[in-house]
Amino acid sequence: MSHEHHPDGRLRLLAALLVSVAAAAITSIHTLSIMLLFALLAACVVIIRRTLSLRWLLKRAGMINVFVLWIWLAVAIDWRSLAPSESGIALAVTMTLRVNVITLAVSLLLARMSGIDLARAIVGLGLPQSLGALVALAVRSVAILVDTRARLEQTMRARAYRSRFGWRTIQVSSQLVAWLIIHALMRSERLELGLRARGLSAMHWPVRRHGHWNTLPRSEWLLLGSVGAAIAIAMMVSGGRG
């Protein structure tokens, strides 16, 4: 695992955790709505500055909201009477706001961090090194799956395969999943062998020490303070309305 120089991400991870904990603890729909509005404004600023791609953010939000759709189908409808449930709709709205707030916050704050950066930030916040290694390996494993799927789909297109509704498509899709698992396992084994050849292991590898908190740039402290201020403003505004 490479230890190239990257910016210290401890405060960004702390800000993402702050938003996640606040969104999970807050039950007011008004407060969550204001937090989502702040997150959307921040996303607009990031997109205008071309730090992140609008297409990437929309794709990420779309995948998460597919899961949210299942929440609406399972909670918002009383399937015994096939009628909308008021309590279920309120719960579904709350869950929708929470998921989207956390998704946008994590995407904006941690998008440019690699698995190693995230692991170093976790260890830098005082959490166990094994947890950081586990997160780094999880991120790496997901990246391997995505890359392997892209390679297999490119190979299928090179052989003039086109997916259609039918038994043949189901059969090829099942084979694709099987080959995806096989290739991912093979690449994971090669990664583990590479770590062992360097005298390391999957759960124990050297982590570069972080500098003192005072050495962090003011922009990172300003970002953390802005996140905390946005949460406080959202709570005060919704409290004033109540």
Q: Which residues contact 214 (CB under 8 A, 6 or more apart)?
A: none
Q: What is the pLDDT at residue 203?
A: 56
Alpha helices in 111-128 (DSSP H): 115-124
pLDDT tens, position by position, 143-174: 777 777 787 778 777 877 677 776 777 777 78
The percent helix, strand, coil of the chain (3-state, each to 5) is: 75, 0, 25
Look up residue 131 and give its two tokens.
């947890």
Cβ-contact 72, 95 below 8 angstroms: no
* Closest by CA position to 121, among listed 226, 232, 17: 17
pLDDT tens, position by position, 176-229: 788 777 877 787 777 777 767 776 665 555 555 666 677 777 888 888 899 999
Q: What is the pLDDT at residue 4?
A: 42
Q: What is the pLDDT at residue 187?
A: 74
Look up residue 204 and give its two tokens.
């124990």
Residues of the chain with pLDDT > 70, as a percent, come to 88
78 has which bridge partners? 83
Q: What is the pLDDT at residue 133?
A: 74
Q: Report CA torsion sign: 11, 16, 19, 21.
A: negative
* Closest by CA position to 111, among listed 45, 60, 49, 48: 60
pLDDT above 80: residue 234: yes
**CA dist., res. 179 & res. 173, Å (int):** 10
Q: What is the pLDDT at residue 2?
A: 39
* Closest by CA position to 51, among listed 8, 12, 109: 109
Q: What is the pLDDT at residue 88?
A: 86
Q: What residue type is 120 in one-letter code? A: R
Q: What is the pLDDT at residue 22?
A: 92
pLDDT above 70: residue 29: yes
pLDDT category at 36 given cuts 50, 70, 90 is very high
pLDDT category at 75 given cuts 50, 70, 90 is confident
Q: What is the pLDDT at residue 211?
A: 65
pLDDT tens, position by position, 116-140: 778 788 877 877 777 777 777 777 7
Average pLDDT over residues 1-30: 79
Q: 153: buried, middle or exposed (CB in 10 Å: 19+, 13-18, 0-12)?
A: middle
- Tally the residues of the chain: 242
Q: What is the pLDDT at residue 39?
A: 92
Q: What is the pLDDT at residue 206?
A: 55
Alpha helices in 26-128 (DSSP H): 29-48, 54-75, 86-110, 115-124
